[in-house]
Amino acid sequence: MALQFSVNGNQLKVEAISPTTTVLDYIRETLSLTGTKEGCAEGDCGACTIVLAETVNGKTEYRAVNSCLLLLPQIDGKHVITVEGLVSDVGEDYNQLDPVQDAMVKTDGAQCGFCTPGIIMALYALRQSGVLTTDNIIHDNLAGNLCRCTGYRPIVEAARDACSVTTSKKIFDKLPFVSEYTEGEQTFFVPKNITEMVKIYGANLDADLLCGATDSGLLVSKKRQKLNKIIYTSHISELTQIEETETGVTFGAAVTYSNLLPFIEKLFPSFASLVSRIGSVQIRNVGTIGGNIATASPIGDTLPCLIALDATLTLCSGSGDRMLPIDEFFLDYRKTDLKEGEFIKSIYIPNLGPNQKFRAYKISKRYDQDISSIIGAYRIELDGETVSGVRIAYGGMAAIPKRGKKCEAALHGKLWNMETLKLSSSMVSEDFMPISDFRGSRDYRLEVASNLFERLYQDIENPENIIEVMNL
């Protein structure tokens, strides 16, 4: 079956092309739309930014994404907009620049211009979102776009000007998507529900599971691997749902960071601050916490937070569902408790109790767009002046994200004061044996992880004066 999507309003049907062709390669090499650039090929620089448009429940959504990581079948049934598609080609508005393009010209927002198309597409998606534009929102939406020669002042000025302009949104036709796409020895499966997923995965245990491709896409864009079997989970209805109840929030493994963030902001603000530093808007628009868990990276940003928050995973296979506390999921470096044919179905995070406080800290060389050196996550329960409950977890301190049980024991049942926190912090070296790498030495990691206890104490004692290093 042929893939079907539109690019800049032109509907296309595609077949006889590898399913591991990236969207960037297709639009540049096949469609000759060379305004979209390739810089890093790993979703960091933003030069490849395009916009995906879909009409959902009568409302048009525009999402900026990195085309260097997306595989071609991931845009099946969607509408793609590249920088060439912004200039009007009809009627009295012929050759009329989009307000973002016009503002970039007027503010001298480009010098060499290599990064400019990606910046324009990121701001175009922001303008189309209709949100009230503040400098913080502008900076967040530009965090995934590097510009090495212009400087960001004129670009931010262009954003202030252009993103205050509202335009009517086009209603895009809903296009069908295939259930399976095969070319040569490669097959891209697209199950629509859990039943189909279980059946397909059970018959293809050697398949790679794919959702946002923010991690596995690197196998194609950087390592040039030829993946023969891929199961795409983004269209599975049960994996894209979010349910908030009186006791907590449950979300499917294919829910994107961007869609989940409003719920996390309401329930766990400190966790939300950390999530907002995961990649860029382009990455968060397609990346998922389910994928972050499944990759089992020892420096996965969300994993210590989920452990400290006592999250529970629902794992699914042909044998049915089973529940597993997340701190029992990680067994060894990149090794998990997933059985053959099993996949992550959903994640449940219980609400904080009335006396519980949660804080999470990411330590990295840059505020935005950087892999963490250390993640510290802490859930503290206080009964008056006494610590009645505690869960502490770290990332970047071992082969897996893990709890600091000796740190917890040194706090539990003790008075909540700086002296107790110092005792607990001294247990970091008993709980963890980090390695040295280019993100930080062993000694650095141990010292910073220990020092975070003082930051934790100050933040909980003075919540109106939270300590944070901002990207000013």
Note the residue count of the chain. 472
pLDDT > 90? residue 88 = no
Sequence ranges of the domains in the chain: 3-162, 180-232, 237-350, 356-465
Contacts of 70 (CB under 8 A, 6+ apart): 22, 23, 24, 213, 217, 286
Spell out the CATH class of 237-350: alpha beta
Residue 431 one-letter amino acid: D
Is residue 390 within 8 A of residue 411, CB to CB? The reply is yes
First to last CA, the chain: 50
Is residue 339 within 8 A of residue 267, CB to CB? The reply is no
Residue 344 sits at φ, ψ, to 5 deg, of -75, 125
Q: How far apart are CA 75 and CA 377, in angstroms?
A: 36
State the pLDDT confidence band at 161, using cuts at 50, 70 and 90. Answer: very high
pLDDT > 90? residue 54 = no
Instruction: Write the DSSP assignment of 36-76 as a string of letters.
Output: S--SSSSSSS-TTEEEEEEEETTEEEEEEEETTT-BGGGGT
Token pair for 416: 């909540």
Read off the pLDDT of each residue in 289-300 and give the average, rounded to a whole number.
Answer: 94
Q: How far apart are CA 200 and CA 195, in angstroms?
A: 9
Quickly tell me which residue has 């980090």 as its tokens. 434
Spell out the CATH class of 356-465: alpha beta
For the domain bounded by 180-232, which CATH number is listed? 3.30.43.10
Fold of 3-162: Ubiquitin-like (UB roll) (3.10.20)
pLDDT > 90? residue 274 = yes
> What is the percent of the chain with per-residue pLDDT over 70, rounded to a whole number?
96
Whole-number pLDDT of residue 462: 87
Q: How far apart are CA 50 and CA 307, in angstroms?
A: 35
Is residue 90 within 8 A of residue 18, CB to CB? The reply is no
Q: How far apart are CA 75 and CA 60, in angstroms?
A: 16
Is residue 70 within 8 A of residue 217, CB to CB? The reply is yes
Read off the pLDDT of each residue in 124-153 and give the average, rounded to a whole number.
Answer: 91
Contacts of 247 (CB under 8 A, 6+ apart): 350, 351
Whole-number pLDDT of residue 90: 45
Mean pLDDT of the chain: 92
State the pLDDT confidence band at 469, using cuts at 50, 70 and 90. Answer: low
